[in-house]
Amino acid sequence: MDYFCCEIYIKEGERWIAKTDQNSLDTWHARLFAFINHKVVGFIWNREPLLLYVNMNSKVPCISGRMIHGDAIDDEWLAVWLLREATIRFPELVVSVRDSDGEFLLAEAAMHIPQWITPENSMNRVFMHWGQLHIVPLAIASTNKVADTGAIGLEKALDAVADTNTLTIASAAVGLAAFARLEGYPEKLRQSMHRARCRLPIAVAQALAEQPMLIAAASELFYTRDPIQMKACQRMEHFPPEPSTDALVLFNRVQYAKLVSQNIRAPTVFELPPAESAEFKARALGMKVACGFEILAHESNQLGAPAATADTDNANQ
């Protein structure tokens, strides 16, 4: 599972937010949520948005974040860009990031990082602060009983990063290499989106108009479908193909490419025009999106969760 996670530590005055500062953490959570949402208005994440939550269980209480990005590595770098921007806007913040491979910023700058840093001693040593990459030197005293392991306590590391008298800012070469993939933001947000005309069941079109991010779950479920899930698409009990309507659907490019690449025989409930027809592309793409929604509704019912359907949508009108 390809995932991204982060911790956002906050220094108020002379100390880091403590477990007794629940109200401060809640305020910062709301502030950062608004800041990030403003930056990504209209953006469609591949699998799910970056989710921020108050983490009182960390050794230093913080705002943590997590995200499953799947095949869209650009979503991970978007999250890094957003968090780096947050450290510029709010100098109280010190941020650490990692993914399923570990300290990926170090991996990006592997040709330039100090020789002493290794996967074994990098914990609590790599952060973003004021828009720059910081690497806490090995010379900073360890709080571990076995000093030569290179381990360092989290709060001691954070103090070093926030202390302007302690040199933790990475060299220019390391910083440039680590953040190289951030070049082009925020313009990359627009470039990663794609609008396409789809012929959709009215209930699906309405759902996407209200919650555009539903396309993430629908496209992923269709792409990873199995024969049992496709049986639900033979009936389309929740989202029958008719009545239907044309809609401009916003995808990210990974989602769109996945759907277009899938060549399947349309379920019999769909009546697609000949492949050479001018309407074929919109109807075929709409069929795939509708099937994704049907699988989503079917899976929700299997889990005992309520699912939106054409009948319930029409009943609420």
Structure confidence by residue, pLDDT tens digits, 115-132:
999 988 999 999 999 999
Mark 31-57 as b/e (b = at least 16 C-beta within 10 Å).
ebeeebeebbeebbbbbbbbebeebee
Residue in this structure with the two tokens 């978007």, named with its chain if needed? 78
Kindly tell me if the per-residue pLDDT of 11 is higher than 80.
yes
pLDDT at 246: 97
To the nearest whole number, what is the mean pLDDT of the chain? 91
CB 238 within 8 A of CB 300: no
- Beta pairing partners, 196: 249
Lowest mean pLDDT among 131-145, 153-167, 243-257: 131-145
Kindly tell me if the per-residue pLDDT of 317 is higher than 60.
no
Alpha helices (H) along 109-213: 154-162, 172-178, 187-191, 202-210
pTM over 0.85: yes
Give the pair of three-digit tokens for residue 253. 């490019």
Kindly tell me if the per-residue pLDDT of 78 is higher than 70.
yes
What torsion do the CA atoms of 298, 299, 303, 308 make, to the nearest 10 degrees?
-60
Kindly tell me if the per-residue pLDDT of 314 is higher than 50.
no
CB 122 within 8 A of CB 103: yes
Task: Give phi and psi for 300, each to the nearest 5.
Answer: -65, -40
With H, G, I as helix, E, B as strand and everything else as coil, classify residue 236: coil
pLDDT at 67: 96
